[in-house]
Each structure stands twice: as structure tokens, then as C-alpha cells.
A and B are shown apart, each in its own frame.
Chain A
Amino acid sequence: MSSAIEAVTHNTGQADSSWSLWLRQIAAIFRFELEKNFFGRRSLLIYLLALLPLLPLLLLALVQPPGNEWKDFNRYGEIYAIFYNGLILRTIVFFGCAWIFMNLFRGDIVDRSLHYYFLSAVRREVLVFGKYISGLVTSIILFTGTTVIAMLLLYVPRFYSQSLRYFVEGKGLTQILTYAGITILACVGYGAFFLVVGLFVRNPIIPALLLYGWEWLNFLLPPLLKKVSVIHYLNSLTPVPISEGPFAVVAEPTPAWIAIPSMLAVTLLVLIIAGYRIRHMEIRYGSD
């Protein structure tokens, strides 16, 4: 007999289905973790990270920089693409996800409170999923917010009426939604990776820096190796292509219909690995 079916008869007097029980458990874990993510003592850093890209844009809104390119509305698509790719995507979203997702389990191990989950009648795979979803929602809210606000901050203060037309009637809305979609996809992919890293590695900073280096060097890699990265697929989706410099090895972008399902499939695989790992995990805080 399914354990989950056997399990919950005490709420209503009738046996719940496995899915109903799992959904309720995921919801409970999600709420509990979301509160920790947004209001816990570790949340300060992600707020700072999310706000960081907005500061130079605020300055830019207040002070007119020298040079003619800042006066040309048509250049702003490219300016934002560089700003988004260099700072928001590669740094803010990357390290924000690292912090949020690594701490989902590592944080509980450091606080010596993971055993309470392990002593609950919940499948450990359900625990992984609940925590992952909470990390995902946290990162998406914060970094999609950053992505959208950053774009608006760049355009609106300098070209108010043009920007309104651009975002309401022009292709601005599509662009802003595409960038938001890329941020969401980045949270999905980096999140799963860092969740697993937090389960396997005691000091996750080292693998995070290694991946950071790998992602930054992606432009130098041969086309085949480029595909062993998250950034390649994300860059393939960017609405405004940007130059990667004179030393870059040029590779064809992966079409969206391949890039998105591929990233989702790899994420699923990584989550399955996380589920397997957590199923066999022991609680030995002393050795952590």
C-alpha cells in the first residue's frame, strides 16, 4: 500500500491521495521557507544584491553623463542589454541565486535545524521540491523586479513620453517581458545547480566561483563547450544581441524552442539528483 495513502487519514477521516498529501506538504514547506527567505537574517544580502543595479541607474537619472550616445533613445536598447548581461544576469542573479538556493539546506545545517524536517512524515523528495519552489519564488520576485525596474529606470526619467510609447505601443513591452523571462529561466537553472551544490559541498563558495569563472569565460570556449553552460542558453534568448569582444569565439545561438526545454530538462535532472542525495543524507552536524 502506498505510504502516503496509508498516512493521512486523521484530517478528514478519509484517506487522502498521495498527490493531495504531497501538495499540502509542499505548500507547508513553501510557506515556511518563503518566510525565512524574505524575513530571515540571511535575507539582507539578497535585498542588497537586488538593489545594487538600481543605484547606478538612479544616479544616471539624476546626472547627465557626457557623450552623445546618452542622448540617443535608439541606443538605449543596446545599453540596457550590456547592463543586463554584465551586471544583472551574470552577477546579481548568479550570486543572488547562489545565496538563496545554497542556504535552503546548508543554512538549516548551519543552524542545526534540518533534522526537524527529516523527522517529519514527509518524503524527502517532497522536501527538496518545496524548498526549491520557495527559493525560486523568492529569486524570481526579487530579480525579475530588479530586471523590470532597472529597464524602466534607464528609459523613463530621460525620455518620458518616448518611453511610454515604447513600452505601451512599441516593442518595449516585448523586450521587458523577454528580459524578465530570461531572469526567470536563470533562476530556474542556477537555482537547481546551487541547491544541489549546497547538498554536496560543505563550502559552496568554491564551486560557485568556479561556475562564475566558467560562465564568464564562455565567450572564449569552442562552440561545443559553450553549450555546457547556463549563460549560453540565456544569451541565445536575449532580444538585443551584444558583442562579446574581439576574442570571442562566435557560435550560433541556440533557438528558444531548444534552449528553454533543454534548460528545464537539465533542471529536472539536477533536482532528481538532489532528491536522491537528500534521500540518503545523514544528519551529522558535528562533521558539518
Chain B
Amino acid sequence: MTIPADQLIIFDNVSKFYGEILGVNRVNLQIAPGITSLVGPNGAGKSTLMNLMTGLLRPTRGTITLLGIPTDEPERLFRKVGYCTQFDSFPRGLTGREFINSFLLVHGYDRQRANELSQLALERVNLADAADRKVAGYSKGMRQRIRLAQSIAHEPAVLILDEPLNGLDPMVRAETIALFRKLAAEGLHLIISSHILHEVDMMSDSVVLLNNGYIVAEGDIHGVRDEMEEHPMQILIRCDQPAKLAAYVFAQDHVVEARLHNDKGGLFVKTRDADGFYLMLNRAVADGEVSVESIAPVDDDLSAVYGYLIGTTGGSA
């Protein structure tokens, strides 16, 4: 199904140079509703892409529209977009509530509505109790959450979050991921940058992998993995007759390697066609040829894809 342009975030041949230094180059991208993660090492261009999306930076070439709105019209754009940047700084002397309230008033809300929206946002990030304390006295995790609250307070349709899980303890991190899922379920676009791959893997509907200012892959992570033919999929199968299964899989031309486990209780397979392999395995099980205890893809995740495409193992929590 084709999604109309006014529901997409569209980068059309976008490049950004800082003088002679490349930020991002020739980015063509369409982002649909759901959670999309931008992944890449430091300096890959994740923040640049986010700053371009929100008009904090202007593209050297190309155009960007969010839900059909160009990024150089902030007065329209930020009715629909919220951006939680990585800048850990605040106007001085404000409490958490005043901070959110002030910018809701700048949006044009009347005082009563601003108060209601501030309270709602504070509750969503579990900061209602600390709302009347000065932001300067907040911990790093609280500052991260108050910025998140500020970015969602005006109930945007697109939420852009630059490393939103940084500085959060595991408990709050889990709560925040749950909040992201809830927002995505409500139909929001969520664009999240992160270097913590397993968390990205857990929450993303699609990923955009960046390296050195270029997009190296984009889409559903399993789809991206399937297209990497130079890296056959690795699968571990624990079963009762691994030798028999090995003979079976060798008959398939998409299987490039099959190795028995040392304990003779399983098989390690490398295949260029994972779907074909699973189909074949289902047939073998249905025919009673083998009894399978477990199946585990070894490298069908973001971490593996990241490793293959970018050459490092990415970050961890």
C-alpha cells in the first residue's frame, strides 16, 4: 500500500556539508509512521540528519518535508513535530514545570491549556513529583526526561529523539521504551537515534544505518539482513538427529555450510535463503525425519547487520 506524502518524512537527495566537512551526503529516504531508528557510529550523521529534519540545520542541497511541511516553516512544522535534542542545556533558573510551560506559551497556547499539557507531559515521563524543583538540581536522567516531556508536551504527530535513553537507569529506560511503543501505537512517527543496538532492535519497526554520512541500509531489520547475500544467514538447530538433518540440508543448493555441534546434539547451518531453509526444515519435521528442540538465528539481528555493514559491533548499554 502506498502511503501518501503528507504522512511521510521525505528526504530528497539531501546533502549537508560543514564547510568542506561532510555531514550527510545524497540522502534519499522515506520514513513511514512507526518507530524508525537511526543507527551508526559517532560521526555517522545521525544528529545531522535529525537537525536537518527539524530545520536546526539547513541542507546544502536537496529538500526535506515532514508530513508535507517543508522544514523552513517552523511555525507550521512544530505544530506537528517535537524534537528532543542531545543538548543537555536549559534556560536558567526555571523549574521543570516552568520550562515546559514557557515554551507551550511560546507555541501560542493559552495559560490554562499550557498548564494542562505540562502536567500531562510531566506525568507521562514520571516527573510530576519533581516538576516544581529547579531543573539545575535535576540528575542527568531527570534532565533527559524533562527534555522528553518538553518535546511531547504539545502532542506532536512526529517525535524525533536524539539518543533519548542516554543517562537513564535500567528501570526508567524500560519505562521510556514502553512509552515510545505506546506513542507509536497511537500512530506517531518516532525517529530515534541510538547506539545501543539491542534496545533499537527491541523497539524499532525499521532502521536506517548510517556510516560516514551515507545511508548504508534502511528498512525492516530482517529485510535488510535477507538482502545481504554476501553474508549467508547463520542458524543453530538443536535436534535429535543432527547428522541426518545435515545430509538433508546439504541437498539444498542455498546451504553453503553445515557443521555438527561437538556434542552431536545440534547443527550449525549457513544459508543464502533463510526462508527456503525454514520451509525445508518444517517439511523434515512434519515428515518425522527429525525432532527439533530449538532453532536460533545467530546473526539475524541489528547487531550482526551493523557488524557486517559498518564493521564494528556497535555499542552496548
- Given A4, A29, A40, A117, which contacts B92 in the complex, CB threshold below 8 Å? A40
Which residues of chain A have C-beta atoms less than 8 A from B107's C-beta?
A: 25, 120-122
Answer whether residue B89 sits at the interface, using C-beta atoms and an 8 A cutoff.
Answer: yes
Contact A122 B91 (CB under 8 A): no
A21-B87 Cα distance, complex, nearest whole Å: 29
What is the distance, in angstroms, from A22's C-beta to the closest C-beta of chain B? 8
Contact B87 A11 (CB under 8 A): no
Q: State which residues 245-288 of A face B: CB under 8 Å.
A: 279-280, 282-285, 287
Per-position contact with A for B95-112: 1 when CB-CB < 8 Å, else 0? 000000011011111100
Contact B103 A120 (CB under 8 A): yes
Answer whether residue A244 sits at the interface, using C-beta atoms and an 8 A cutoff.
Answer: no
Size of B's binding interface in residues, CB under 8 A: 36
Name B89's closest neighbour in chain A (CB-CB): A112
What is the distance, in angstroms, from A1's C-beta to the closest C-beta of chain B? 10
Answer whether residue B77 sits at the interface, using C-beta atoms and an 8 A cutoff.
Answer: yes
- Given B76, B106, B113, which contacts A7 in the complex, CB threshold below 8 Å? B76
Contact A121 B77 (CB under 8 A): yes
Name A279's closest neighbour in chain B (CB-CB): B72
Which residues of chain A have C-beta atoms less than 8 A from B83's C-beta?
A: 119
Name B83's closest neighbour in chain A (CB-CB): A119
Contact A120 B106 (CB under 8 A): yes
Contact B78 A10 (CB under 8 A): no
Contact B55 A8 (CB under 8 A): no
- Given B57, B74, B110, which contacts A122 in the complex, CB threshold below 8 Å? B74
- Given A7, A10, A29, which contacts B75 in the complex, CB threshold below 8 Å? A7
What is the distance, in angstroms, from A60's C-beta to the closest C-beta of chain B? 38
Contact B79 A121 (CB under 8 A): yes
Interface centre among A7, A121, A126, A287 (most CB of B within 10 A): A121
Contact B110 A24 (CB under 8 A): yes
Answer whether residue A158 sits at the interface, using C-beta atoms and an 8 A cutoff.
Answer: no
Which residues of chain B have C-beta atoms less than 8 A from A36's C-beta?
A: 91-92
Q: B residues bordering A, Cβ < 8 Å? A: 18, 51, 54-58, 72-79, 82-83, 85, 87, 89-93, 102-103, 105-110, 113, 150-151, 154
Q: A residues bordering B, Cβ < 8 Å? A: 3-4, 6-8, 10-12, 16, 21, 24-25, 28-29, 31-32, 36, 39-41, 108, 111-113, 115-124, 126, 279-280, 282-285, 287
Of the A-B pairs whose beta carbons lie under 8 Å apart in the complex, a sample of 9, sorted by A's number, is: A7-B76, A28-B108, A32-B91, A40-B93, A111-B89, A116-B150, A121-B78, A121-B107, A126-B75
